[in-house]
Amino acid sequence: MSEIYYKNKNAVAILRVSSVKQTDGGISHQVQEEKCREYAKELGLNIVQVFTFAESAKNSKERHKYNEAMTFVKKRKVGNVLFYMPDREARNMTDGEENERKVLRGEFNIHYVNERKILHKDTPSSELFARDVQLVMAKNNSKVTSDKVIDAMASKARMGWYPSNHPPLGYVTVKITDSATGRAKNRGTTIGLDPNE
């Protein structure tokens, strides 16, 4: 492996989850930040800014918070960008390829903290190819998840479920009852006509 080039030892940590629901479980912001700080300490990196947000990574044009973070990196000439995992960086080829160009120009290094992997200007083409494969898999995973969610929501709508926190005027949330016992189930609701005229 070639010697890793550091433009400087300053770093930003970009902590992304896809939705607000994910902040409480799975790869939460807190877990990502703890791991990034431990990693930075090990490598002697100085984290100058931590960007924390919930935002999808599947469409480059809609990644406003991510783009703000990358603009900060460019303006401050930060030499290292830390992501907990590759799919926290991108789930689209546009951002992945743009970051690769910047890395190969020596603008900054990308660190995948969980994998202890660093992309730098002398990264071998075989490692860049492996990263491309990961990006394609992340992109595909995003599409498959989207298809599943759409199918599930359509199915729920056909059964009377209303996709909102509050049903429309004239309707109320109704607990689903167990057909065998006639009692309300602990989980599951549908909507019904509001008996209050």
> What are the pLDDT digits (tens) for 148-189?
877 877 787 777 666 666 777 788 777 777 778 878 777 666
Q: Is residue 78 a contact partner of residue 11, using CB atoms and an 8 Å limit?
A: yes
Looking at per-residue confidence, does 20 or 44 come out higher?
A: 44
pLDDT for 22 beyond 50: no
pLDDT band at 86 (very low <50, low <70, confident <90, very high): confident
The rounded distance, in Å, linking the Cα atoms of 163 and 154 is 10
pLDDT band at 27 (very low <50, low <70, confident <90, very high): low
Mean pLDDT, the chain, whole residue set: 83
pTM, entire model: 0.70
pLDDT for 19 beyond 80: no
Predicted pLDDT at 122: 93
Cβ within 8 Å of residue 195, ≥6 positions away: 172
Which whole number is the average pLDDT over 96-124? 94
The rounded distance, in Å, linking the Cα atoms of 95 and 135 is 10
**Sign of CA pseudo-dihedral 22, 25, 29, 33:** negative
The rounded distance, in Å, linking the Cα atoms of 37 and 41 is 6
